[in-house]
A and B are shown apart, each in its own frame.
Chain A
Amino acid sequence: MKDIILKAENISKQYRLGQVGTGTLSHDFNRWWHQIRGKENPYLKIGDINDRSTKGTSDYVWALQDINFEVERGEVLGIIGKNGAGKSTLLKILSKVTAPTTGSIKSRGRIASLLEVGTGFNGEMTGRENIFLNGAILGMTKKEITSKLDEIIDFSGCERYIDTPVKRYSSGMTVRLAFAVAAFLEPEILVIDEVLAVGDAEFQKKAIGKMQDISRGEGRTVLFVSHNMAAVKSLCTRGLVLEHGKVVFEGEIIDSINTYLNSNKIKELNIDVLVSDEYRKINTSRKIEILSVKFLNPLYDNCFVSNESIKVGMNIKINKWVPSFRIAGSIFNDEEIKIGTFFTNVKDLNTKQDQLSLEVSILNHNLAKGSYYFAFSVGTGDEENGNTEFDIIYDILNFEITHKTNIKDPINKWPRGWGNISFKSKLELLDE
């Protein structure tokens, strides 16, 4: 017997892109005209998959498409996916902030959301008054709040400031207070989105502990959305992976996290790329443009070793003569976070050739095991003298760093929690 507390059936959500203007008026009118004649909304038939990087053909986009899932009582479901995969839209529908375009959600319990903390805080009111206001917004009654007031104040650690207007609080204190209110809510289903991104380490630990208590100790159901895989792993029992508004995986949390991380890795194995305009996100002068990039010394495919330089071969085209140039680049990890940037030495441009082949080496990168990708640019200047870029290309040449000793060992010896850099270090005994 499964005790299903929440059930989503065929949830879809359509958004209209672009601006509201006369165009919307005519669409509204058309929709209304179809409605009175008892016909189907004409704009529901069209719509693209939500992929923000490609140019769509329609003004309508499906942020979510045919989402089906069930949640059992007491389960902590982690909802993971890249930016724009539809996680927040799903939570908004679950917390009744916006209605789905089609489909339905059935629930056997009250749903309270903790979408972003500090919602409804009023700067002019004191911490104590805000606890009551925020609690009431989240659906608590005054009686419930009063009975828990001391616990809430204690958990927030803001006792000294509790009768001071919230506008005098630091942002960290506001978050603590807001989380404290929400943590003592007693809905059957709690929806949490990215709250752990703020607050100091001590408070994050406290917050995660509290959420574990909520789900394990008190048997409440939690839906949790975060980019923090460590938090997801330690909190959740099951996972739901979203990609471009569709469920691509549902199952054990470990498998879900792996699916998510692998979906980032696999993109495509582009180790030798002719650069087209889809890699360019911003307009530049293109005095020099990058024609192609490729890896010169991978161990195999696109794998490199932590302590060896990465060599990239690059063909460039000179459209307009400049005295000198250099290559710059950044490396991103699989969570789309930029982890570092390099500027090469400057080369004078004294040939008359209009195409050049280059070799760019990234030395001593000390990257730890993981997946990464590049952005490159050609330009002049650096961090000290200010820079001008002639051409910038993004999201290119993804690669893996493995450890040389265990190339074939699939077991990750470098947990994600240790970060992206494996520092070189040394220990010496100092004689007295």
Chain B
Amino acid sequence: MNNIDNNKDWLFEITPKNNFFSLNFKEIWQYRDLLFLFVKRDVITVYKQTVLGPLWYLIQPLFTSLTFTIIFNNVAGINTGTIPPFLFNLAGITVWNYFTACLNGTSDTFKANASIFGKVYFPRIITPLSVVISNLIKFGIQFVIFIFFYLFYYIKGADLTLNSLVLFFPILIAIMGILGLGLGMLISSMVTKYRDFSYLVSFGISLLMYLSAVMYPMALIKEKLPKFGWIVEYNPLAYIIETSRYMLLNVGEISVLGLCYTLSVTLAVFFVGLLVFNKTEKSFIDTV
């Protein structure tokens, strides 16, 4: 045999088994334009053929905050201290929304994209990444509204002070995004075979919100429900929301231990998610 068939110069090899951890960063970098185009597609097509268009980005958090303010603060009487309740809720909801948008968007990656994944190959992780990034843009718009109300209350004379730690706010948001991405990748991989998980997500998210200190300060739950306070304390999301309120509004508490815990949970979830996602992407099309 005089073939120039040496095993060394193959460009790549397709095999049934993949390495334990085979994330090909070079490949993802090659497809960076696709990531950008997916983000663009998500942003420009979401509210096409609607009259209010991107205003829907703003209407949803504003009305949710309003409802929460009426029910939890005016009716149920949760005390938010010197901070106007509406602003307190808006801060929590804006951050919380980013998480849910990431989780919802990524948790049906495989199912929603089955038709395209079934025909052409690109690094699958591009899809959930694009969801997280395009939601970041949405978050940005919603955050502008928060700033607008912040200034509004400030001018009205509310007692608002910025915490210098606000500089770390972007890092907090990044952690939130990574947690949503990791959890979403994990769930999307399991949904390919067992659809049960997609039902779990839809009702789980609404339940989780009540455990994540979105509409109450963390100290309150420890004070009122000392027996069940640990549920909230074990929830990494609660720390992120509490800390972001601490940074933005200077209320509540910051727990370094809690944040370390949150960070480790986030990284663990992210890597497990990535692992499962990588394993699933190779043959999910047979089971989806």
Contacts and interface: CB of A to CB of B under 8 A. Distances in A.
B59 interface: no
Given A3-B4, A133-B41, A107 B13 contact: yes
Interface stretch (B118-126, B217-225, B261-269): B118-126
A114 to B, nearest CB: 9
B286 A98 contact: yes
Interface in A283-327: none
Contacts of A94: 14
Interface in A97-151: 97-110, 113, 115-116, 119-120, 122, 124-125, 129, 132-133, 136-142
**Which of under 10, 10 to 19, 20 to 34, or 35 or more describes the interface residues of A?**
35 or more
A105 B113 CA distance: 25
Contacts of A15: 286
A168 to B, nearest CB: 13
Given A4-B5, A107-B11, A136-B37, A96 B193 contact: no
B120 A115 contact: yes
B164 interface: no
A99 B18 CA distance: 10
A113 B121 contact: yes
Contact of B14 (A2, A99, A141): A99
B260 to A, nearest CB: 32
Nearest to B33: A142
B6 to A, nearest CB: 11
A93 B14 contact: yes
Contacts of A124: 44-45, 48-49
Contacts of A7: 5
Interface in A1-25: 1-4, 7, 15-16, 20, 24-25
A1 B3 contact: yes
9 contacts: A4-B4, A107-B11, A108-B10, A108-B11, A124-B44, A124-B48, A133-B37, A133-B38, A139-B31
Contacts of A122: 41, 45
Contact of B122 (A16, A24, A98, A137): A137
B233 to A, nearest CB: 34
B15 A110 contact: no
A92 interface: yes
Given A98-B286, A133-B37, A119 B14 contact: no
Given A92-B285, A104-B15, A122-B45, A97 B121 contact: yes
A119 B121 contact: no
A212 interface: no
A99 B45 contact: no
Nearest to A145: B33
Interface string B1-23: 01111010111111110100000
A264 interface: no
B33 to A, nearest CB: 4
Contact of B37 (A104, A108, A132): A132
Given A15-B286, A101-B16, 5 more contacts: A97-B118, A98-B286, A106-B7, A106-B14, A120-B116
B282 interface: yes
A19 B67 CA distance: 44
B255 interface: no
Contacts of A344: none
Contacts of B10: 106-108
A92 B119 CA distance: 7
A109 B11 contact: yes
A366 interface: no
A204 interface: no
B194 interface: yes
B120 A119 contact: yes
B17 to A, nearest CB: 8
B4 A99 contact: no
Interface string B36-50: 111011001100110
A217 B266 CA distance: 53
**Which of under 10, 10 to 19, 20 to 34, or 35 or more describes the interface residues of B?**
35 or more
Contacts of B31: 136, 139
Given A1-B3, A120-B120, A142-B33, A20 B44 contact: no
Contacts of A109: 11
Contact of B121 (A3, A96, A107): A96
A270 to B, nearest CB: 36
B206 interface: no
A369 to B, nearest CB: 38
Contacts of A141: 30, 33
A305 to B, nearest CB: 46
A95 interface: yes
Nearest to B5: A4
Contacts of B16: 99-104
Contacts of A103: 15-16
B45 A107 contact: no
Contacts of A133: 37-38, 41
A142 B34 CA distance: 8
Contacts of B285: 92, 97-98
A137 B287 contact: no
A39 to B, nearest CB: 15
B163 interface: no
A95 B120 CA distance: 7
Given A2-B3, A106-B13, A138 B120 contact: yes
A104 to B, nearest CB: 4
Given A1-B3, A3-B4, A4-B3, A100 B122 contact: no
B13 A136 contact: no
Interface string B168-209: 000000000000000000000000011000000000000000
Contacts of A132: 37
Tell me which of A15, A95, A108, A137 has the highest count of chain B C-beta atoms within 10 A of its own C-beta.
A137
B117 interface: yes
B193 A116 contact: no
Given A97-B285, A101-B16, A139-B31, A108 B9 contact: yes
Contacts of A113: 119-121
A350 B10 CA distance: 76
B283 interface: yes
Interface in B100-132: 115-122
A381 to B, nearest CB: 40
